[in-house]
DNA sequence: TTGAAAGCGCTACCAG
DNA sequence: CTGGTAGCGCTTTCAA
């Protein structure tokens, strides 16, 4: 049972022989308290290890020092590394985070939630969080569901919301949309430079903005280089290892030759490589690849993954700062540019000495 | 600014021409409301999309339907997969989770927090969470810090606390301590069966319970098989890929031959393999290995990782259920056994056909 | 079935 | 500098 004792400000006031107003002042660092009383109060607080009830506090102050973070799947390194960065900054600013995994589209574990994002939104409003951060999920769909959009509007009508993703009109969210196509161009150019002319694209859920943008960037880059686009070289699936595995199998079954491919992220790259190995296709000798989104372990992979660092950590920092600023009343327009960086390692078969 | 409008129960009552008591009844599914009034109230609630203030609610009801989860690093697959499972069950029971990454011992990213666990504990108490789940961190140290212990005691004096880890006396926590040595025995026996006689142990932070237990199990298993224990074949470090990498380098530099090793988890295994590759030692031909703790991507690795499934998901389910039961007043003693399972894949060089 | 009213624990205003 | 007190928004008796 949760029936453990709870000290209140009244008991502290009693024992310290002062009014609750004075105790409150001491707790909030108000200067208008005599040294003697302050000391007395502090001692009693110490003695009972008293911590003020944040509910009561929040009821008056209208802030809970809590921020809601809504994302699809924390077990995905993309989200977890960002979350860590977000938490670090929240902590410094005194905020705590309510994490909501919507498991949109299913996680790597195949787990699915029974509740949708609207449910979480409602809950966050009820709990009076000071703001909400939305990182992926339904916002990322190329065409956003009407109900979702409505839920998002309602949420953003009630509290500050920052979302990582492309703008959804008729809502009051602040949208931060990093350029994610640029890196693809970098990658394609690099592969071209190495002599590759048949380059495939592997992984990523169809109809999700990031997939869309990258596929488009892929096509544009190809055209820019005077290469033709063959739709059969595009094999989408999802964002996990198993999806890289299946995507490669699909791709190979189409019998269109390719000498290199772009994987939507490191997980997909790993699954892809596994699939190629099972098909006795040598990597990187026969097929080179680059991942569009760098995760943690890539540099320990065999071969070490050449991939694009999209600076998720910086992005995380950016969004939490933006949100906290908005909560604080400073609506500083989020100015930023996170130029992606091609990290050349071994999965394209060369070192080039460019290593950095 | 967070100055968005907030509807309250009063306005709903006004508009519906009933008392706030009636509105409250409607919201809480109390039957003592006439159909007519109920309908009127529901319509107004709908109209304004009213959600009750959980702070005010919690102030009276003494519960916030929020649970605090304290763990070292959510970017570690061990924790994230467990968290997902925990969240799923919390959700069903109506709880939301406050996630606290203590970054104890530093994360894979090298990030460290400025606050310690005691700070989080304090914050969770203030926010009146209904219970706390502690998964790793300082609890896992072989000798627990005095201050930490005191903080833990204070926390558990004030609310229900379930910790995954070995018992720490003088606290009111419920401890759930899965057997983690058993799997090691399985692994060693398997390696022995394959003919290995010089088996090393790689990774894991020294002075952390789980490392300790596994190293001890490793030693016992070796002795059981009539093999001698050579301390030079034990190379500890930490739990990430980079740590597997460094641990192998240390190990090899000692010049004690080994034909197989146990890695503390899949991350370490991956880093280890990379190190061996860099040393031109062939895996699994020259050195076979098994990971003690299976993560997500192991089956896509080259070679596919043979590792031990410790059933973290089940453990997560177990602990959250235990906590929720305690919160609900049922102090059902956590009965369980999670027999680890050796998942044989390729990193020991054979398939054996045992595949399952 | 209904509403009035008493708080939950705290902050902030107002007098003194 | 200090204490009294009016709420914050809600639930829950207690009468009606």
- One domain for residues B166 and B222: no
- One domain for residues B186 and B301: yes
Inform me whether the pLDDT recorded for A83 exceeds 60. yes
- One domain for residues B83 and B166: yes
pLDDT in tens, A12-49: 999 999 999 999 999 998 888 999 999 999 999 999 99
Amino acid A115: pLDDT? 84
Inform me whether the pLDDT recorded for A3 exceeds 70. no
pLDDT in tens, A275-309: 999 999 999 999 999 999 988 889 999 999 999 99
Inform me whether the pLDDT recorded for A111 exceeds 80. no
- One domain for residues A188 and A303: yes
Inform me whether the pLDDT recorded for A356 exceeds 60. no
- One domain for residues B224 and B348: yes
Confidence of residue A2 (pLDDT cuts 50, 70, 90): very low
Among A40, A61, A82, the domain boundary falls at A61
Amino acid A296: pLDDT? 84
Mean pLDDT of A321-344: 86
pLDDT in tens, B11-26: 999 999 999 999 999 9
- Range name among A201-215, A319-333, B10-24, B331-345 with the lowest pLDDT average: B331-345
- One domain for residues B162 and B236: no
The SS3 assignment for A209 reads: helix
Confidence of residue B354 (pLDDT cuts 50, 70, 90): very low
Q: Are B265 and B292 in contact (CB under 8 A)?
A: yes
Amino acid B146: pLDDT? 95
pTM, full prediction? 0.94
Amino acid B103: pLDDT? 87
Task: Evaluate if the CB of A61 falls below 7 Å from strand D.
Answer: no
Confidence of residue B115 (pLDDT cuts 50, 70, 90): confident
pLDDT in tens, B281-330: 999 999 999 999 988 889 999 999 999 999 988 999 999 999 999 999 88
Q: Does A284 touch chain B (CB under 8 A)?
A: no
Mean pLDDT of B83-91: 95
d(CA A170, CA A175): 12
Q: What are phi and psi of B93, to 5 degrees?
A: -90, 0
HSE-up (13 A, CA, CB side) for residue A84: 27
Residue A317 lies in a domain: no
Residue A28 lies in a domain: yes
Confidence of residue A108 (pLDDT cuts 50, 70, 90): low
Among B177, B200, B220, the domain boundary falls at B177
Mean of the per-residue pLDDT values for chain A? 92
Confidence of residue B64 (pLDDT cuts 50, 70, 90): very high
* B-interface mutation test, from A8, A76, A80, A316, most B Cβ less than 10 A away: A80
Please report the DSSP string for B177-200 in residue order: ----SHHHHHHHHHHHHTT---EE
d(CA B193, CA B187): 10
Please report the DSSP string for A226-289 in residue order: TPPP-GGGEE---SSHHHHHHHHHHHHHTT---SEEEESSHHHHHHHHHHHHHTT--TTTT-EE
Confidence of residue B196 (pLDDT cuts 50, 70, 90): very high
Among A131, A160, A177, the domain boundary falls at A177
d(CA A79, CA B12): 39
Q: Which of B75, B85, B296 has its CB closest to that of A108?
A: B296
Amino acid B106: pLDDT? 66
Mean pLDDT of B52-70: 96
- One domain for residues A141 and A186: no
Q: How many domains are there within chain B? A: 3
Domain of B51? 9-61
- One domain for residues A207 and A347: yes
Inform me whether the pLDDT recorded for A89 exceeds 70. yes
Radius of gyration of chain B (CA): 26
Q: Which nucleotides of D are covered by protein (CB under 7 A)?
A: 1-5, 7-13
- The residues facing B262 across adjacent strands are B201, B290
pLDDT in tens, B39-55: 999 999 999 999 999 99
Amino acid B334: pLDDT? 67
CB contact under 8 A, A88 and B111: yes
Residue A303 lies in a domain: yes
Confidence of residue A113 (pLDDT cuts 50, 70, 90): confident
Mean pLDDT of A109-117: 78
Q: How far is the CA of B18 from the C1' of C1 (A)?
A: 12
Task: Evaluate if the CB of A56 falls below 7 Å from strand D.
Answer: yes
Residue A336 lies in a domain: no
Edge to edge, what strands does the sheet with A260-263 contain?
A: A234-235, A199-202, A260-263, A288-291, A307-309, A341-343
- One domain for residues A82 and A187: no
Q: How far is the CA of A57 from the C1' of C9 (A)?
A: 8
Confidence of residue A96 (pLDDT cuts 50, 70, 90): very high
Inform me whether the pLDDT recorded for B152 exceeds 50. yes
pLDDT in tens, B158-173: 999 999 999 999 999 9
Residue B4 lies in a domain: no
- Range name among A132-141, A290-299, B3-12, B187-196 with the lowest pLDDT average: B3-12
Residue B327 lies in a domain: no
- One domain for residues A103 and A133: yes
**Domain CATH number, residue B57:** 1.10.260.40
CB contact under 8 A, B270 and A297: yes
Inform me whether the pLDDT recorded for A269 exceeds 80. yes
Residue B323 lies in a domain: no
- One domain for residues A37 and A145: no
- One domain for residues B167 and B121: yes
**Domain CATH number, residue A79:** 3.40.50.2300
């Amino acid at each position: 049972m949760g029936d453990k004792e709870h000290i209140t400000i009244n008991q502290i006031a009693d024992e310290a022989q002062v009014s609750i107003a004075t105790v409150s002042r001491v707790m909030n660092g108000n200067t208008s308290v005599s040294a003697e009383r302050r000391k007395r109060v502090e001692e009693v607080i110490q003695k009972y290890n008293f911590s003020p009830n944040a509910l009561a506090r929040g009821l008056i102050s209208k802030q809970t020092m809590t921020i809601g973070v809504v994302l699809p799947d924390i077990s995905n390194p993309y989200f977890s590394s960002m979350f860590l960065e977000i938490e670090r900054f929240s902590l410094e600013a005194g905020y705590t985070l309510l994490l909501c995994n919507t498991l949109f589209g299913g996680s790597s574990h195949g787990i699915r939630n029974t509740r949708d994002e609207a449910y979480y939104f409602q809950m966050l409003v009820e709990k009076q969080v000071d703001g909400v951060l939305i990182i992926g999920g339904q916002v990322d769909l190329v065409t956003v569901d009407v109900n979702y959009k409505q839920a998002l509007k309602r949420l953003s009508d009630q509290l500050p919301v920052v979302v990582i993703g492309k703008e959804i009109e008729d809502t009051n969210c602040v949208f931060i949309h990093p350029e994610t196509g640029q890196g693809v161009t970098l990658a394609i150019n690099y592969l071209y430079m190495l002599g590759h002319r048949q380059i495939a694209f592997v992984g990523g859920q169809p109809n999700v903005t990031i997939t869309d943008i990258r596929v488009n960037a892929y096509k544009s880059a190809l055209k820019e280089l005077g290469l033709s686009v063959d739709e059969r070289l595009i094999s989408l699936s999802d964002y996990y290892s198993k999806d890289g595995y299946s995507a490669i199998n699909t791709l190979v079954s189409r019998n269109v030759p390719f000498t290199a491919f772009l994987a939507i992220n490191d997980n997909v790259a790993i699954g892809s490589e596994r699939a190629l190995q099972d098909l006795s296709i040598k990597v990187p000798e026969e097929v080179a690849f680059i991942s569009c989104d760098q995760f943690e372990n890539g540099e320990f992979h065999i071969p070490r993954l050449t991939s694009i660092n999209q600076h998720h950590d910086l992005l995380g920092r950016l969004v939490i700062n933006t949100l906290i600023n908005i909560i604080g009343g400073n609506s500083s327009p989020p100015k930023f540019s996170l130029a992606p960086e091609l990290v050349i390692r071994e999965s394209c078969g060369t070192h080039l000495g460019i290593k950095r």
